[in-house]
Amino acid sequence: MLSQFSEINLKKHKGSFDLIADQFTELPLYYMSFHGSNDVNKVLGTITYSIERYGINFVVIDTLQFLLSGQA
């Protein structure tokens, strides 16, 4: 995500890393700490809580298949 945010190759521009990382930490991003298969109601409950608590306007769910694998 840091490389995408910076739009430069950070391996080639190592001197820019600290500046880019500092800028990245200012973004209003929140992460859920789910790993592996989880109950869909637990995931939706956490999203709902986050919307209400932090005023989240946009939710991105990456690897939904992994998050809900093993569900019947």
How do residues 22-68 score in pLDDT, each as one tens digit?
A: 999 999 888 888 777 778 888 889 989 999 999 989 988 777 777 66
How much is the pLDDT for 28? Answer: 86
How much is the pLDDT for 71? Answer: 66
Asked whether residue 21 falls in the same domain as residue 52, the answer is no
Asked whether residue 46 falls in the same domain as residue 72, the answer is yes
CA distance 14 to 23: 15
Confidence class for position 13, pLDDT limits 50, 70, 90: very high
Asked whether residue 47 falls in the same domain as residue 18, the answer is no
Give 27-43 as a DSSP string. Answer: S--------S---HHHH
**Angle 17-19-24 from CA coordinates, rounded to 5°:** 90
Range of the domain at 5: 1-28
Residue type at 42? Answer: K
Asked whether residue 22 falls in the same domain as residue 46, the answer is no
Residue 31 corresponds to which tokens in the numbers above?
């992460």
Asked whether residue 70 falls in the same domain as residue 54, the answer is yes
Asked whether residue 16 falls in the same domain as residue 51, the answer is no
CA distance 26 to 37: 31
